[in-house]
Amino acid sequence: MTQLTLLCLPYSGASAMVYSRWRRKLPEWLTLQPVELPGRGARFGEPLHTDMRRLALQLAHEHITTLKTPYAIFGHSLGALLACEMAHALRSLGCPEPVALFASGTAAPTMRADYDRGFAEPKTDAELIEQLRTLNGTSEEVLANKELMSLTLPVLRADFLLCGRFEPQQRPLLKCPVHVLGGKADRATTEQLIGWSKETLGSFSVDMLSGGHFFIHEHEAKVLRVIKDQLDIHQRRHAMAASA
């Protein structure tokens, strides 16, 4: 099988290391490449971004020289928006489009007016902690750890601004397939998820999984199966085209 690279972009407040355990659960033909964002993980000392397109272009410049095509991009929540912007940025630099874009756990770029309401201005520490609490992805023990929160909250604040200040842009649509994953108990509505179909001229699909915003961890095996199954389709088509 042709070797594929899977770029994975993290959600708000997270390091790309949230995807590290996927490495041993993906098939051999799929190479996981977590994309670390400035200001966290191994890039902790770098300035945080609050401009989505500027960040996407920086990441595209950083990865285009080492990116082995073909490749796919996966992003969850903030990472989904950033994945879409990175696909456009890579294309603008002359790189082929991804063979697939996986957008997980968030409203489509053109349907964020209600979804991101109140996120365009910096939130206080108390507001950020309450937001984490409502997403059910952080234990009360962690929320009460002042030292840990002092490291996490500035990253989260910048990431919320990335989403809150994002505005859709008129430009040529992507041509690659777009596959959306949503949580049945998450706040992104079916309509907001289906809105991702407006981002591409290619094929489109939606998979709904049980669970809330962090269904990618709650149902990791199902998420990985969706990714593998969709990329299997690409692999079969590529093999047929090569043998024709």
Do the domain assignments include residue 191?
yes
d(CA 211, CA 183): 5
Average pLDDT over residues 155-178: 94
CATH code of residue 102 = 3.40.50.1820
d(CA 137, CA 133): 7
For the chain, percent of residues with pLDDT exceeding 70? 98
Please write the tens of the pLDDT for every residue from 194-210.
Answer: 999 999 999 999 999 99
Do the domain assignments include residue 240?
no
Tell me the residue ranges of DSSP E strands in 46-143. Answer: 71-76, 100-104
Look at the chain and count its residues. 244
Q: How many domains does the chain have?
A: 1
- Coil, helix or strand at residue 71: strand
Do the domain assignments include residue 80?
yes
Q: What's residue 26's pLDDT? A: 94
> Does the pLDDT value for residue 216 go beyond 90?
yes
Backbone torsions φ then ψ of 105, nearest 5 degrees? 70, 30
d(CA 32, CA 68): 12
Q: What's residue 179's pLDDT? A: 98
Average pLDDT over all residues of the chain: 92
Do the domain assignments include residue 71?
yes
Model confidence at 177, pLDDT cuts 50, 70, 90, reads very high
d(CA 208, CA 223): 10
Do the domain assignments include residue 201?
yes
Q: What's residue 110's pLDDT? A: 95
Average pLDDT over residues 158-178: 94
* Furthest CA-CA distance within the chain: 61
Model confidence at 8, pLDDT cuts 50, 70, 90, reads very high
Do the domain assignments include residue 65?
yes
Q: What is the model's pTM? A: 0.93
Model confidence at 244, pLDDT cuts 50, 70, 90, reads low
132: its two tokens: 């984490």
Q: How crowded is residue 47: how many other Cβ atoms within 10 Å of its Cβ?
A: 9
Q: What's residue 116's pLDDT? A: 83
Do the domain assignments include residue 237?
no
Please write the tens of the pLDDT for every residue from 97-149.
Answer: 999 999 999 999 999 988 888 887 888 888 888 888 877 667 788 788 888 88
Q: What's residue 137's pLDDT? A: 63
Which active-site residues does the annotation give?
77
Average pLDDT over residues 163-191: 95
Please write the tens of the pLDDT for every residue from 40-89.
Answer: 989 999 999 999 999 999 999 999 988 877 999 999 999 999 999 999 99
Range of the domain at 164: 9-17+48-220
Average pLDDT over residues 212-229: 95
Do the domain assignments include residue 100?
yes
